[in-house]
Amino acid sequence: MKYLRSTPNDHSFFSVYAKLAKSVKASGYFAQIVSALTEIGGIFAASLSILHPIFGQHAVYPSAAIAAIGTAILEVGLRVTIPQAVDAVLYKRWQGLHLAMSIAVFILGFVLLATSGVLSYKNSQTVVDSVVIEPERDSTGIQAVQIEYNSTKAKHGEQYRADSTTTSERYQKRIQATTAAFSGQLGSARRELSNIYNKERRTGNSYATAKDRARQKIADIEAEQAAAIAQITTEQGEALAALKAEHKAALAKADQDHRSALDQLEHEYQTATTERGQTVSAYGGGLAYFTIIALFIFLASVILDRIHRKGSGIAETVELSQYDINPPAIVEAWQAMRERVQTTIRAKIAAFEERTPAAPLPTSKRELYDPTQLSNVRINLQLDDENEGEERTIRIAAKRRPIGFFTQGDNVRQRTDNKSLEDSENGSSTNATVNALLKNCDHCGAEYQAKVKWQRFCSTDCKTQWHAAQHNGTPYSPNFKKRK
C-alpha cells in the first residue's frame, strides 16, 4: 500500500509557510524522541522491578523488550491518530460513518496522549536517577581505618605483654633476693639452736630458756621474711593492675578513634547521597516539565503540518497492490505447508490401499447336524425292590438332542460302548453309556476318534498333505491367504 501526495494547488500559501512547516515538523519528531526516551526508561524500570523476583538477573532482557514494545505502541499510535483527529476537524468529517470513525480516533488519541504524558512526567526522575552516578561508600578508606585499628590494638597488646613480663620478672627478682637475705639469718639462728642442743648433750645440763629464745628468734625471722615477700607481692599486683588499666585505656582510645574515623566516612557518604538526591530531584523535575513541553511541541507540529497541507491543497491518495489484498505471507506459507502434508499423507494411504490384498472368498455353507442321526441318550436307574436278588432297569429316552455344525464331507458316526451297556444291564457299577465321536479322515479315509465335532483330519500330516494337494503343492501355513 502506497500513500501518494499531490502537488499543491495554492502555491502562494504553500511557499509562505513551507519553511515553517518543515521546521515545526522536524521539531515534532525530536520532541517525540524525548518523550519516547522518558517513557522507555520508566516502563523498563517498572518491568524490571516486577520480573526480577521471577527471572533474577535474566529479567533485564524481557524488561527491555516490554519497554521497547510499549513505547513503540504509544509513539506510533500518536503519530497515526493525532493527524487523523486534526483532519477530522479540518475536513469536518461529522457525517455518516465518518462521525463514528472521528469519535473513535479522538478517544484513542486522547488516551494515548494522556498515557504518554503521565509516563513521561513521572518517569523523568527515574531516567535522571539512572543517569546520575550513585555515590558509594569509601571501601578503601574503611579498609584502611580497619587496618590501622587492628594494628593499634596489636601494638598495645604487645606493649602490655612486654610490660607485664618485665614487671613480673623484676618483682620475682626482689622476692628471690629477699628470700636469700632471710635464708642467711634463718641459717644462723638454726645453728645457734643446734649448738644449744649439742651443749646440753655434752654437759648434761638443760638450757630450756636459751632454746626458747633461739626458737623465737627463728620464728621472728620467718615472720619478717613472710611480711617482706607479701609486701613485694602486693606491689607487684598493684603494678600489674596499673599496666592493665593503662592497656584498657589505650584500647578504649583506639576504639574511639576507630569509630570516629568510620563516622567521618559515613558522614561523607550520607552527604554525597543527599547531594545526589537533590540533583536527581532538581533535574528530574526539569526533565518532567520539558517532556510536557515536548508533547505540546509534537501536537503543534502535527496541527500546523495538517493545516499547511489543507491550505496548500495537497491531497493524499492510497494506491493498493495485490499484496495488500492477498492474505499475509505467513498465512499463505501455512496453507502451502498444510496442503503438502495432506497430499503426502493421502498419497501414502492410497499406496497402502493398493498393496492391500483382496478379501478371501466365503467358505462352503455350514449345515446343522441331522438330529435323526444322533442316538438317544440313555439313563439307567437301578431301583431297590423288596424281593432280594431281583433287579429292574428303567430306560428313559432323552427329550433334548444336541445340535451342532459340520462341514460337507464329514462322516459322523456314534458308537455305543457295548461293554458299558452290557455292564449296566448286568447290574454293574456303570450307570451311563459312553458315546464316542468317530469320523473318517478327509485325506486318508482312516477312522479315528475326533476330539471336537469339527475335526476333519486324523493327524497333522494328513492336514498338511491335503492342503498341499488343494493348493498346487503349497504347504499349509496358519498365515496363508487365498487371493482371488
Q: What is the mean pLDDT of residues 370-392?
A: 50
Pair (431, 306) in one structural domain? no
Pair (290, 413) in one structural domain? no
Computed over every residue of the chain, the mean pLDDT equals: 81
- Residue 340 falls within a domain, yes or no? yes
- Residue 320 falls within a domain, yes or no? yes
Give the residue from 312, 303, 316, 307 showing the smallest Cα distance to 14: 312
What pLDDT digit, counting tens, does each position of 225-246 carry?
A: 899 999 999 998 999 999 899 9
- Residue 116 falls within a domain, yes or no? yes
- Residue 146 falls within a domain, yes or no? no
Task: Report the distance separating Cα 339 and Cα 350, nearest Å.
Answer: 16
Residue 427's pLDDT is what? Answer: 45
The predicted model scores a pTM of 0.47
Instruction: Output b/e per residue, 381-417; b: 16+ Cβ within 10 A.
Output: eeeeeeeeeeeeeeeeeeeeeeeeebeeebebeeeee
- Residue 149 falls within a domain, yes or no? no
Pair (125, 21) in one structural domain? yes
What pLDDT digit, counting tens, does each position of 455-468 carry?
A: 888 988 898 888 88
pLDDT category at 290 given cuts 50, 70, 90 is confident
Q: How far is CA 254 from the centre of its chain?
A: 51
118 or 430, which is more confident: 118
- Residue 163 falls within a domain, yes or no? no
Residue 417's pLDDT is what? Answer: 43
Residue 41's pLDDT is what? Answer: 81
Could you tell me what percent of the chain has a pLDDT over 70? Answer: 82
Whether residue 421 is predicted with pLDDT greater than 50 in this model: the reply is no
Task: Report the distance separating Cα 53 and Cα 41, nearest Å.
Answer: 19
- Residue 256 falls within a domain, yes or no? no
What pLDDT digit, counting tens, does each position of 145-157 carry?
A: 889 989 998 998 9
- Residue 231 falls within a domain, yes or no? no
What pLDDT digit, counting tens, does each position of 50-103 carry?
A: 888 888 888 889 999 999 999 999 999 999 999 999 999 998 988 889 999 999
Tally of domains in the chain: 3
Domain that holds residue 114: 2-136+279-325
Q: Which of 152-161, 314-323, 330-339 has the lowest mean pLDDT?
A: 314-323
pLDDT category at 280 given cuts 50, 70, 90 is confident
pLDDT category at 47 given cuts 50, 70, 90 is confident
Q: What is the mean pLDDT of residues 1-5?
A: 80
Residue 77's pLDDT is what? Answer: 92
Please classify residue 338 by burial: count the beta carbons closer than 10 Å to its beta carbon, then call 0-12 exposed, 13-18 middle and 19+ buried: exposed
